[in-house]
Amino acid sequence: MKISHKLVVGFLMAGMMSMGTNLSAVEAASGQQVDTTAMEQEVVVGGWSVTKGNTKIDRHTRKVFSKALEGLVGCTYEPVALLGKQVVAGTNYCLLCRLTPVVPNAETHWGLVYIYEDLQGHAELKDVQDVVLGKDATKLN
């Protein structure tokens, strides 16, 4: 079964609504892409700011992602959506990625990739969590 990244983003954002965000249920359920660049986003230090509507990964976040995964072997990570940021002494990022282990007959699956960028611009991979939507739902073949 092939699953669109927009559908996965929609389900994940619906779940993130429970973290105290004001993302509308319609956007979350439909995975609707809405340009929110002109809208204000409330940033709470220490709290997660969930990406609202447009989950496009900006140039800076791609650079941080590349730095954090530099030299990592064993799996390819393809970022498809920026789900949120957390401002701390630096910034934490949560990205939805397609993960493909670098072994014969490996199955591609979805994962949440957490990256931390410190105030000096150094980036590191903090965590990877597999996304399980249901039986056989994570297969992308």
> Percent of the chain beyond pLDDT 70?
63
Whether the per-residue pLDDT at 137 is higher than 80: the answer is: no
Of the candidates 113, 136, 111, 108, the residue with the CA atom closest to the CA atom of residue 126: 113
Domain membership flag for residue 38: no
Residue 81: give its domain's CATH number.
3.10.450.10
Helix (H) or strand (E) holding 8: helix 5-16
- Within a domain: 20: no
Q: Is 87 a domain residue?
A: yes
Over residues 35-52, the mean pLDDT reads: 60
pLDDT for 9 equals 54
What would the pLDDT profile of 16-33 be if each residue is shown by its tens digit? 443 333 333 323 333 444
Query: Which pLDDT value is given to residue 67?
Result: 97
Is position 120 within any domain? yes
Q: Which of 36, 49, 93 is nearest to 67 (CA)?
A: 93
The span from the CA of 29 to the CA of 47, in Å, is 23
Name the average pLDDT for the chain. Answer: 76
Q: Is-contact 75 107, C-beta < 8 A? A: no
Q: Is the pTM of the predicted complex or chain greater than 0.85?
A: no
The domain total for the chain is: 1
